[in-house]
Amino acid sequence: MGSDPTPQVTQYVLSAEDLKVLLSGFVEASKGAAAAPSTTDAMTALLKQVESLTQTAQRSIRYENPHYEDVSVFTIDPQCELCKTGGLHFLPDDPIGKKAHPRPVMRYDFEFCYGIVRPEWLTIPEIQLVNQFTGDKTARNGTWTATISRQGTKQKLIIDVPYRGLDTRHDLPSLPAILVELIYGESVADPSQAVALIQALQKKVDELEARLASSASA
């Protein structure tokens, strides 16, 4: 997601001489159809001059860091060991590694509360959560819904969480919290219940490891 190192000159102010050439062409054109070719000649000469000046301006501009790469929560994966250490990601046919984590492809067109959500607006963990949906889901006694609609080869994930107006929408849980609750259930999304669930799972893991150890020593 680094910026384009090529300078883009979008404006050019005409000099007095440029305007003189342009206006003379229009004056000649106003004299009749026979003089019309002079307009073309004048415009061609003017365009060539502007192009030359633009190229000169582009060559004169220097960037302090033309290979600058924007690194933010949108370009790193918190589970990636390279991202944690600030290492570089090397992709096939890419000799220059990038700090930005390769973004996963979002498998669905995503609509949240009647609005389209673009992949570039989401963090990598959010895209990974969206990709975990394999079927319709509900939460909060059916008031939260996740529906996968199919139109030809395209699939759209539609998440509807009732709200009234933008002010109320800001009071909703975060998008990752909503996605997690729809995928795994309210017990995982609720921190107090999640701690108890993690402790229960850890106890089962410890018991399984103890059984495996006793079996190996027998």
Please check whether residues 165 and 196 belong to one and the same domain. no
pLDDT given at position 185:
82
Mean pLDDT of 52-68: 61
Please check whether residues 116 and 94 belong to one and the same domain: no
Q: Is the pLDDT of residue 137 over 90?
A: yes
The angle subtended at Cα 71 by Cα 67 and Cα 76, nearest 5°, is: 130
- Domain extent, residue 51, equals 1-68
Report the C-alpha gap between 164 and 10 in whole angstroms.
43
At 146 the pLDDT is 95
Burial of 45 (0-12, 13-18, 19+ CB in 10 A): middle
* 153 band by pLDDT with thresholds 50, 70 and 90: confident
Q: Which of 79, 102, 125 is the last residue of a domain?
A: 102
Same domain, 114 and 87: no
Q: How far is CA 85 from CA 20, 69, 79, 80, in A?
A: 61, 16, 11, 9
The per-residue pLDDT for 165 is 59
State pTM to two decimals: 0.56
- Which burial class, exposed, middle or buried, applies to 21 when counting CB atoms under 10 A from its CB (0-12, 13-18, 19+)? middle
For the segment 187-203, what is each residue's pLDDT rounded down to a tens digit? 555 555 556 656 666 77
Whether the CB-CB separation of 178 and 157 falls below 8 Å is answered with no
The domain tally of the chain equals 4
